[in-house]
Amino acid sequence: MQPMETISTVAGLRARVREWKQAGARVGVVPTMGALHAGHLSLVQAARARMDRGITTVFVNPIQFDNADDLATYPRTLAEDGRMLARSGVDVLYAPTAAEMYPPGFATRITVAGVSTGLCGGSRPGHFDGVATVVCKLFMQTLADCAFFGEKDFQQVQVIRRMVADLNLPIEIVSCPTMREADGLALSSRNRRLTAAQRQTAVALPRVLAACAQDIAAGTGVAAALSGAADHLAAAGFDSVDYVELRAETDLRPLATLLPGTPARLLAAAWLGDVRLIDGMPVPPRG
Ligand code: PAF
């Protein structure tokens, strides 16, 4: 295994990728904002299994934060991230500066309508414009053949799929299952900001969603099941609930009932103090 290289400029990255492509290699990218955990590493492994060369990007993207405190407190652990990625067999860690990504005069935003409205798009205005813009730039900079994303950020994956289809971007999107702690909490970089007491409460999120998914699959009315789930989260100690919704997996349209042949997913976001957690689960078809 060759040692991992860290690159921070578009020109340096392009030169390395050009060499790989001239040698016929297929290139995979795992875009991240760092503070890496086992969920990210599972994406790195998925990329390694399918591709000849792997890039992981670490960039805390300022334009996708709708809240200055959230941006300021987002965990930044680049040295540790680099050690984890080197051990995982990544070829290149691409860690551009904000000035490299957004030089003076930068004035472009990508807006993906439809799938980015409501859910996290409703509670975080402008968030998905920032995500789509940076992800498009990362695709153009890495010229990767395939990109790997976690299903925990389910709406994000649908926004990126829509953008790739609409803009004819020559890249395949692979989504990978959510990785969880032993007690069910979805792995997230934000989990490290939870206090011990909040961490205990956090496990209610996957538990309440799993129970709600089962209830809907067993025939409980969707509206009643969703408002019951929000109540259970509040009773468990969540400070507020942004949403608990049932959506069609492919286009994220709201579902008032399960429909035959339409895969459905329960999606939720809720706050513990100033930490916002999200999670989602497929709802099995009725019967
Ligand atoms: O999911 C994330 O970590 C970010 O939204 C992404 C895709 C790396 C864009 O900044």
Residue 136 is encoded by which pair of tokens? 């498009």
Task: State whether the beta carbon of 135 lies less than 6 angstroms from ligand 1.
Answer: yes
The CA angle 167-27-4, to the nearest 5 degrees, is 130
Output the pLDDT for position 172.
Answer: 98
Separation of 235 CA from ligand 1 center, angstroms?
31
Task: State whether the beta carbon of 133 lies less than 6 angstroms from ligand 1.
Answer: no
DSSP the chain: -PPPEEE-SHHHHHHHHHHHHHTT--EEEEEE-S---HHHHHHHHHHHHH-SEEEEEE---GGG-S-HHHHHHS---HHHHHHHHHHTT-SEEE---HHHHS-TT-------TTTTSSHHHHHSTTHHHHHHHHHHHHHHHH--SEEEEEGGGHHHHHHHHHHHHHTT-S-EEEEEPPPB-TTSPBP-GGGGGS-HHHHHHHTHHHHHHHHHHHHHHHT--HHHHHHHHHHHHHHHT-SEEEEEEEEETTT--B-SS--TT--EEEEEEEEETTEEEEEEEEEPPP-
Task: State whether the beta carbon of 188 lies less than 6 angstroms from ligand 1.
Answer: no
Q: Which residues of the chain have pLDDT under 50?
A: none
Task: State whether the beta carbon of 31 lies less than 6 angstroms from ligand 1.
Answer: yes
Output the pLDDT for position 2.
Answer: 82
Q: Whose CA is nearest to atom 3 of ligand 1?
A: 32
The CA angle 186-192-188, to the nearest 5 degrees, is 30
Separation of 259 CA from ligand 1 center, angstroms?
31
Compute the distance between CA of residue 25 and CA of residue 164 in angstroms, rounded to an integer: 22
Separation of 161 CA from ligand 1 center, angstroms?
14
Separation of 141 CA from ligand 1 center, angstroms?
15
Task: State whether the beta carbon of 249 lies less than 6 angstroms from ligand 1.
Answer: no
What amino acid positions are annotated as catalytic residues? 40
Compute the distance between CA of residue 9 and CA of residue 184 in angstroms, rounded to an integer: 38
Output the pLDDT for position 287.
Answer: 59
Angle at which helix 127-142 crosses helix 10-22, to 10 degrees, equals: 50
Atom of ligand 1 nearest to the CA of 64: 10
Output the pLDDT for position 1.
Answer: 73
Instruction: Determine the residue type at 190.
Output: R
Burial, 247: exposed, middle or buried (Cβ in 10 Å; 0-12, 13-18, 19+)? buried
Atom of ligand 1 nearest to the CA of 59: 10
Atom of ligand 1 nearest to the CA of 33: 3
CB 185 within 8 A of CB 270: no
